[in-house]
Amino acid sequence: RVHGGTLKYKFRRGGHREFLGWDSRGKQRQRIMESGGGAYGAAKAGGTFDLWHFLQQPQVIARIFSAVFALIVFSCIIGEGYSNPKWSPELQCIFNHSEDACRYGIGIGVVAFLACVFFFMVDIYFPQISSATDRKYLVIADLAFSAVWTFLWFIGFCVLTNQWSSVQPGDVIIGADSARASIAFSFFSIFSWGLLIAFALQRYRMGVQDFDQSYIDPAPGPTPPYSSYPNAGHESYQQPPFTRTGENSEGYQPPPVY
């Protein structure tokens, strides 16, 4: 019993123990993870880091591919995405001379690569996080960013393809292969980031299921009433002990008459 409530322990996979506490009225639940592990698809906190096992995780593999694809896209555009046409000495974007197309491809590629590096470090540090709430926020951030960047890669693929299809034959002498490579890997990035959405959603659902399975409803039972302030009106009068009545009490008695 804890403050009039119920304290229940439950052992989970991995050997760690977590307990659930309720207040005296059974209306509030509290979930405390003593070791903080096993939530959201990761091992319990404090375990040893296995590099080979880490690299075999599906979300890590998809993240590595996403980083490589993003690196190819923005490096191709930066390296050979600008050339001067025959009639002008100024460098112009090879995607139909559209500066916005080149800037868009470079922008989403650089941000995607940096985000992959960041979340790659998060994946390494994730099993060491003992707080289930912090794990939840990181998984939600991964899910949201992956969804947004999947959409942006789709837009980028459409923009680059549309602008490249408008290029006249012979206008681009150097950089045609780089343009095609950036378009191709923009298309591949849609699927790699889509996989990251699926893996992040799976991890989030695992965390929610772990919480639902570990929660145990308290057994219904009478709750102790709140003690009210003592009221003298509700108490019956009791005669003090060891007192004599008026008949037996010693008082004034008249002298006997002879």
Residue 23: predicted pLDDT: 44
Residue 72 belongs to some domain of the structure: yes
3-state helix, strand, coil in the chain (%, to 5): 50, 10, 40
Query: For the chain, how many residues are written?
Result: 258
* CA 104 – CA 86 distance, rounded (Å): 25
Residue 141 belongs to some domain of the structure: yes
Q: What are phi and psi of 20, to 5 degrees?
A: -115, 135
Residue 27: predicted pLDDT: 43
Looking at the whole model, is its pTM more than 0.85?
no
Residue 186: predicted pLDDT: 97
- pLDDT by residue for the chain (258 residues), tens digit each? 444 444 444 444 444 444 344 444 444 444 433 334 456 555 555 567 778 888 999 999 999 999 999 999 999 999 988 887 777 778 888 998 889 999 999 999 999 999 999 999 999 998 888 888 888 999 999 999 999 999 999 999 999 999 999 888 777 777 889 999 999 999 999 999 999 999 999 998 887 765 555 444 444 555 555 555 555 445 555 555 555 554 454 555 666 665
Spatial CB neighbours of 199, under 8 Å, sequence gap ≥ 6: 58, 59, 62
* CA 142 – CA 222 distance, rounded (Å): 45
Residue 116 belongs to some domain of the structure: yes
CB-neighbour burial class of residue 235 (10 A; exposed 0-12, middle 13-18, buried 19+): exposed
Residue 166 belongs to some domain of the structure: yes
Residue 60 belongs to some domain of the structure: yes
Residue 236 belongs to some domain of the structure: no
CB-neighbour burial class of residue 165 (10 A; exposed 0-12, middle 13-18, buried 19+): exposed
Residue 164: predicted pLDDT: 92
* CA 218 – CA 225 distance, rounded (Å): 18
Residue 119 belongs to some domain of the structure: yes
Number of independent structural domains in the chain: 1
Spatial CB neighbours of 102, under 8 Å, sequence gap ≥ 6: 77, 81, 82, 93, 94, 95
Q: 3-class SS at 56?
A: coil
83 contacts 92 by C-beta, under 8 angstroms:
yes
Nearest Cα neighbor of 211 from 21, 25, 15, 33 is: 33
Bridge partners of residue 92, in order along the sequence: 83
* CA 81 – CA 157 distance, rounded (Å): 15
Domain range for 75: 53-213
Residue 1 belongs to some domain of the structure: no
